[in-house]
A and B are shown apart, each in its own frame.
Chain A
Amino acid sequence: MAAIAAKPRFSFRAPSVIPGFGLALGFTLTYLGFVVLIPLAALLLRSAGLGWGEFWALASDRRVLSALRLSFGASFVAALINAFFGLLIAWVLVRYRFPGRRAIDAVIDLPFALPTAVAGIALTALYAPNGWIGQAFAGSGFIGQFFGPQGIRIAYTPIGIVIALIFISLPFVVRTVQPVLEEIDSEMEQAAATLGANRFQTIFQVILPSVFPALLTGFALALARSIGEYGSVIFIAGNIPYVSEIAPLLIVIRLEEFNYAGATAVAALMLLLSFAMLLVINLIQAWSRRRYGHGA
């Protein structure tokens, strides 16, 4: 009887509707192992065959570096833009009632469902210099004419890459922020107002801190999705080495050379960088949760 009263050192066996901790954990580990861990381990193992010297030679190659810079840079910009506009869209969808709201709400998810190559081809058709939108930005277009005889080229430049990445990662921000916004009572804003806060203070001291962890999660998801994106980007990027060549394309090129080790080295590098970045974002999240006491 006394054994029951003794508190276990780790609270592993918390009561749960799913029976059998051993079975559940065993299943979790096996499943994760086959689906995620073993493939990733195989990847690292294959690049480990290179040895440190070769690995660093590859990692410090200027072409690899510029491709990584482009992949991470464009993803960062796209995720940042999505964080801002995704929040705006989520706000409008949660707070306002207007005809067609449900339809727009459904449209947000389309980038999830669409094969990315289709997205890439469609975007390229629109933003190419002879496409609907591209024409406006070309030298003779109504926007492009203010930017010199060349206008602004969108397709086949890093700008095009950012647009493709915005497209494919938008739902992540909207869908993570939306439920949190729904939970914020508008009475909280009214309370802030009665306490003398102006609109500015209400936004930055009441609403944003509550949404911030969710927004950060959405940002991290959008970023992670963008970094690995291949299908939609290669059609709009132009793929010129050192200018618009993304890291996933470099991996494919190494594979075309039947250079498996080289391909996995770039992949492992991307994996490490992504992991480090997501870790940092997680730490910020943990900090903001402690700071503001809101869960996400």
Chain B
Amino acid sequence: MIRQSASAAFLAAAVLWAIPASSQTLLNVSYDPTRELYREFNAAFSAHRQAEGHERVTVRQSHGGSGAQARTVIDGIDADVVTLALEADINAIVEATGKIPENWRTLLPHNSSPYTSTIVFLVRTGNPKGIEDWDDLIRDDVEVITPNPKSSGGARWNYLAAWAYANKAFGNDQEKTREFVRDIYLNVPVLDTAARGATTTFVQRGIGDVLLAWENEAFLAIEELGPDQFEIIVPSVSILAEPPVAVVQANAEAKGTADLARAYLEYLYSPEGQTIAARHYYRPASPELVTDPAELERFPAVELVTIDDEQFGGWARAQPEHFGEGGIFDQIYVPAN
């Protein structure tokens, strides 16, 4: 009986799954903080397609940790497009399944990153500890909140931003840079597994003096949790976080949605797509296209190092070097004997 009803439920699920695939449906597998962004963008894209005389498009969204989302694609979820936090996550899909062409990063403008962000500091109102730049974070009286870069893709940018600052401050001295980054992490009392958890620890639990956060997350935290309780400090040097997007070619071809999927991602680069990204606190890749200049005023100029800078050598090198098993981050936490 149990088996029968289970298989009936399975059959029903399979049928429900299969029906929309024949009509104009896309599945966008994304990561956590883009939920609101894509909700608005999907509606805009669907309206745009209809205005062009196409069928109505339904885009289903899936959100979660970026690495976990990449694994669901590897394990076979039939995503048409992926919009993740890290190039390394898409590379993992490429290596494990080959469903995405190897040159995916060149298929769309701006390294396939239609919007970018950077790492900023969120401090309590009035900035009681006087935190202005990265070197304040290694002070003994400062507690830093940041998620674990091993379990959170987004947190890897926090780590790399600190690294970029130290590398510049110490004139490319590897040993001192590593020590500086280690000192920051020794000031971390709680290593949350994901960015939202870290924000909760800082905002709701009142732990720590400064939260390292993506700029868009920092704006969201201020907007949703207390405009008069927190302020954003922009450090002198930070990193250009480029969340990448790609068509999962093999899936889309199998479902006959390859052209639609490509049009979907390309529309992110349109004036409307860029404006929506800016409205959701992401820095648009082409700010000149944004239709409402007021949306750009919140982004201060900051010196941004990219992952392709020679100190990191792109994700293909930075990922194993810093975050792989036994990598530099693991070495930071090796206890002294």
Residues of A within 8 A of B (CB): 31, 62-63, 121, 124-125, 128-131, 155-156, 234-235, 238-242, 249, 252-259, 262
Contact = CB atoms under 8 A, between A and B. Distances in A.
B197 A241 contact: no
B206 A130 contact: yes
B150 A253 contact: yes
B193 A131 contact: no
A155 B189 CA distance: 11
B205 A239 contact: no
Give chain B's interface secondary structure class: loop
B206 A238 contact: no
B232 interface: no
A131 B204 CA distance: 9
Given A256-B152, A258-B92, A262-B325, 12 more contacts: A124-B205, A234-B193, A234-B197, A239-B191, A240-B333, A241-B333, A252-B193, A253-B150, A254-B325, A255-B71, A256-B151, A259-B325
Residue among B3, B65, B150, B153 with max Cβ neighbours from chain A (10 Å): B150
Interface in B1-29: 3
B324 interface: yes
20 contacts: A62-B335, A121-B200, A125-B204, A129-B206, A131-B205, A156-B207, A234-B193, A235-B197, A238-B189, A238-B191, A239-B190, A240-B333, A252-B151, A253-B150, A256-B65, A256-B152, A257-B150, A257-B325, A258-B92, A258-B96
Contacts of A262: 325
Contacts of B188: 240
A-B pairs with lowest CB-CB distance, top 6: A241-B333, A128-B205, A130-B206, A239-B191, A256-B67, A253-B150
Contacts of B335: 62, 242
A235 B190 CA distance: 9
Given A31-B3, A130-B206, A156 B190 contact: yes
Interface in B53-89: 65, 67-68, 70-71
B275 interface: no
A24 to B, nearest CB: 14
B192 interface: yes
A240 B329 CA distance: 12
A156 B71 contact: no
Contacts, number: 71
B148 A253 contact: yes
A179 B43 CA distance: 57
B312 interface: no
A66 B247 CA distance: 42
Contacts of B191: 238-241
Contacts of A256: 65, 67-68, 150-153
Nearest to B319: A257
A258 B151 CA distance: 11
Contacts of A238: 189-191
A122 B154 CA distance: 25
B299 interface: no
Contact of B151 (A63, A240, A253, A259): A253
B323 interface: yes
A256 B71 CA distance: 9
Contacts of B68: 255-256
A256 B3 CA distance: 34
Contacts of B333: 63, 240-242
A258 B325 CA distance: 10
Given A239-B191, A258-B96, A128 B151 contact: no
Residue among B65, B71, B191, B192 with max Cβ neighbours from chain A (10 Å): B191
A239 B204 contact: no
Contacts of B190: 156, 238-240
Contacts of B204: 125
B193 A257 contact: no
A154 B241 CA distance: 35
A231 B236 CA distance: 37
Interface string B112-142: 0000000000000000000000000000000
